[in-house]
């Protein structure tokens, strides 16, 4: 079953990002994806917001997800090809001379970096979502974040071997 989310439910978790990417073309055109027919529709859900044109919210989510993907460079492009355009890992791997495992690793790493209510590349002082921020974050680039993630996994392996 395909998941559907109302705009007020989006907090940029993995599943929200995937939903937004799968529907990116509709969002860019200013349309929120329709809720699947076989699910219950809460009469309280209203996609339109006061003082906004109906296309604004979908376009803002499209811009946010594209900005997040752009922060990841080539890995963002690979993720976009895979999720937005349903390109297979095998095809992407063949064109980039990489293994399918490396493609999946890059997609997962990109999804981890772009997930979360606040952007990892913006410090708390510059974050306009500070009131909703559930964690304190320091600005960190994607390449630095990848290096830290790799270092963290190496330390985890060493520590587990010592136990």
Q: Where are the domains of the chain?
A: 7-116
Burial of 79 (C-beta count, 10 Å sphere; 0-12/13-18/19+): buried
Burial class (CB within 10 angstroms; exposed 0-12, middle 13-18, buried 19+) of 29: exposed
> Mean pLDDT throughout 47-71?
84
User: Contact at 8 Å (CB) between 13 and 115?
Assistant: yes
* Six token digits for residue 158: 């060493």
Across the chain, mean pLDDT equals: 81
Least confident of 23-27, 47-51, 93-97: 47-51
The pTM (predicted TM-score) of the whole model is: 0.76
* Residue 26 pLDDT: 95
Angle at 122 between CA 5 and CA 18, to 5 degrees: 25
Give the per-residue pLDDT at 44: 39
> In angstroms, rounded to a whole number, what is the distance separating the alpha carbons of residues 6 and 44?
11
Q: Is the pLDDT of residue 102 over 60?
A: yes
Tell me if 134 sits within 8 A of 117, measured CB to CB: yes
pLDDT tops 50 at residue 128: yes
| Residue 66 to residue 73: CA distance in whole angstroms | 11
Q: 138: pLDDT confidence band, cut at 50, 70 and 90?
A: low
CA 156 to chain centre: 26
So what's the pLDDT on residue 21?
96
- At residue 121, does pLDDT exceed 70? no
CB atoms near residue 60 (< 10 Å): 13
């Amino acid at each position: 079953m395909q998941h559907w989310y109302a705009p007020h439910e989006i907090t940029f978790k993995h599943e929200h990002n995937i939903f937004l990417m799968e529907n990116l073309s509709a969002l860019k055109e200013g349309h929120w994806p329709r809720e699947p027919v076989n699910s219950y529709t809460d009469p309280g859900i209203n996609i339109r917001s006061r003082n906004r044109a109906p296309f604004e919210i979908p376009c803002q989510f499209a811009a946010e997800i594209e900005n997040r993907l752009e922060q990841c460079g080539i890995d963002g492009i690979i993720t976009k090809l895979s999720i937005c355009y349903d390109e297979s890992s095998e095809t992407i791997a063949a064109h980039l001379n990489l293994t399918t495992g490396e493609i999946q690793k890059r997609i997962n790493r990109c999804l981890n970096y772009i997930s979360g209510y606040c952007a990892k590349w913006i410090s708390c002082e510059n974050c306009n979502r500070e009131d909703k921020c559930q964690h304190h974050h320091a600005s960190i680039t994607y390449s630095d974040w990848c290096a830290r993630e790799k270092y963290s996994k190496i330390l985890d392996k060493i520590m587990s071997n010592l136990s």
